[in-house]
Amino acid sequence: MSSNNQIAVEFRNVTLVKGNRPLVANLNFSINQGEALILLGRSGSGKTTTMKLINHLYMPTEGEVLFNDIPTTEWNEIKLRRQIGYVIQETGLFPHFTVEKNVGLVPALEGWKPKQIQSRVSELLRLVSLEPNQFAHRYPHQLSGGQRQRVGVARALAADPPVLLMDEPFGALDPITRLELQQEFRRLQEELGKTVVFVTHDIQEAFVLASRIALMDEGKMVFLGTPEEFKQSKHPEARAFLECIEFAL
Q: Which residues bind ligand ATP (CB under 6 A)?
A: 18, 23, 41, 43-49, 201
Q: Which is nearer to ligand ATP, 38 or 99 (CB)?
A: 38
Nearer to ligand ATP, 71 or 171 (CB): 171
Of 45 and 149, CB closest to ligand ATP? 45
Nearer residue to ligand ATP within complex by CB, 54 or 158: 54
Residues 6+ apart with CB under 8 A from 17: 23, 61
Q: Which is nearer to ligand ATP, 48 or 195 (CB)?
A: 48
- In the complex, least distance from residue 171 CB atom to ligand ATP, rounded to whole angstroms: 9
Q: How far is the CB of 23 from ligand ATP (least distance, A)?
A: 4
Torsion angle (degrees, nearest 10) of CA 87, 88, 90, 91: -10
DSSP reduced 3-state for 244 = helix
The alpha carbon of 19 is separated from its chain's Cα centroid by a whole number of angstroms, namely 27
Q: Please report how close the Cβ of residue 163 comes to ligand ATP at its closest, in angstroms.
A: 19
CA 24 to chain centre: 18
Task: Say if CB 162 and CB 52 are below 8 A apart.
Answer: no
- CB 47, min distance to ligand ATP, A: 4
Amino acid at 131: E
Q: Which is nearer to ligand ATP, 49 or 102 (CB)?
A: 49
Identify whether the C-beta of residue 150 lies closer than 8 Å to the C-beta of residue 93: no
The DSSP code for 89 is T
Judging by DSSP bridges, how do beta strands 7-18 and 21-32 pair with one another?
antiparallel
CB atoms < 10 A from the CB of 234, how many?
7
Report yes or no: 11 and 65 within 8 Å, Cβ to Cβ: yes
SS (H, E, C) 51-65: HHHHCCCCCCCEEEE
Cβ 118 to ligand ATP, closest distance in Å?
36
Nearer to ligand ATP, 41 or 161 (CB): 41
